[in-house]
Structure 1
């Protein structure tokens, strides 16, 4: 199914998350910190994720059902740059920025602490 770029980024991020289940509030908060601050777009991402079969709701939790989707998985990368920026997650000023490279585009910048809070732990095993 064809989605607008922001929705696509949200779906790619959900596919990349390394979590078996999260509360709907946690998923929405992660999307707010990574993809968009607009709640209507977050609602569209959540709806598209349910429609694509990436998320199922059970017992008040969002269960990630990656094997049920037909979207192609692209393993994201963490890109580290030396630049002065503000963290998208916490707003702190930083000299080193981290970006998450998804198939649909880049997310970030993030500080080293915040990028590790985005349920992408498996990416840091390669460092």
Structure 2
């Protein structure tokens, strides 16, 4: 799989990533943190959130999001692939020798370090307030 290059591909990947977050609720900042692994464009970030809401993937209530796709979490055994090499984590920018990539229907997202992959998928939160 190749990294998404067009705006539409990034939008689809962003919506699918939100659909696979392993939390029923998260705050807007946590959602934006995940989306920023795809794009740092504020306009595209807004479009991803709008598309996810229109498609029923999320409901927005102020600065909180409710994920409506119960049970569609990233399956680590099937959808997360680890590759050895010299990588830079898409989330934190750290150099990593093992890159973790998420394979979604809309495309591949990564590389991530071992702790950032858990944060991006929602298996580990950055704060207890999430």
SS of aligned partner of 1:118: helix
SS of aligned partner of 2:121: coil
Q: TM-score, normalised by structure 1?
A: 0.80
Q: TM-score, normalised by structure 2?
A: 0.78
Distance 2:62 2:89 in 1: 34
Q: 1:40 aligns with which of 40, 43, 59?
A: 43
SS of aligned partner of 1:90: coil
Q: Is 1:53 the counterpart of 2:56 in the alignment?
A: yes
Shift of 1:74: 8.6
**Which residue of the partner structure matches residue 20 of structure 1?**
24
Q: 2:103 aligns with which of 93, 97, 101?
A: 101
Q: 1:6 aligns with which of 6, 10, 13?
A: 10
Distance 2:62 2:9 in 1: 31
Using a 3 Å threshold, how does the CA distance of structure 1 residues 74 and 103 change in structure 2: closer, same or farther? farther
Bigger RCO of structures 1 and 2 (CA < 8 A, at least 6 apart): 2
Structure 2: segments with no counterpart, 5+ residues: 1-6, 124-130
Runs of 4+ in 1 over 6 A off after TM superposition: none
Alpha-carbon RMSD across the aligned residues, in angstroms, is 2.2
SS of aligned partner of 2:32: helix
Are the counterparts in 2 of residues 88 and 109 from structure 1 also a CA contact under 8 Å? yes
Using a 3 Å threshold, how does the CA distance of structure 1 residues 59 and 6 change in structure 2: closer, same or farther? closer
